[in-house]
Structure 1
Amino acid sequence: MGIWRQMAEYLYIKKRDPNQPRTQWMKYMHGMNRISLLMFMVALIIMLFKFVILPMFK
């Protein structure tokens, strides 16, 4: 499974494979990965705003 497919599944863009085993620990792991991925994306947006967009208006 590729990294882009896994990220799409974390962000609910792509449906997960129904044949994969789904244990409680996998749910926890994917939930934590989803949270960290969303936090990373928010940080990238903040950095883009701070270092690219704000200096354009000064």
Structure 2
Amino acid sequence: MNGKNLFNFGPVLGYYFRKNDPSRKNNFNMKTMHFINKLSLAMFLVCLVVMLFRYVL
């Protein structure tokens, strides 16, 4: 593992901003799972920014 791949946020941003795929089935459970995943990733990133901000100050 090298340092270049450590800060590769492309897949994360792609997960947040991808379009709906019409060929995929979309039921309530899948929508709920994706919402919870996006929410937990957002909370993690916000906490990471807060921790870095506190560390700098």
Q: TM-score range by the shorter chain?
A: 0.5 to 0.7
> 1:2-51 deviations in whole A, cap 9, x for unaligned?
xx1xx323x2x221322111011001101111110110010111011011
What is the identity, as a one-letter code, of the residue corresponding to 1:45? Answer: V
How many pairs are equivalent? 46
Rg (Cα) greater in structure: 1
Structure 1, unmatched stretches of 5+, are: none
1:31 to 31, 35, 44: 35
Answer 1 or 2: higher relative contact order, Cα 8 Å, separation at least 6. 2
Moved over 3 A (4+): none
Using structure 2 for the length normalisation, give the TM-score. Answer: 0.67
Structure 2, unmatched stretches of 5+, are: 1-10
CA RMSD of aligned residues (A): 1.3
Using structure 1 for the length normalisation, give the TM-score. Answer: 0.66
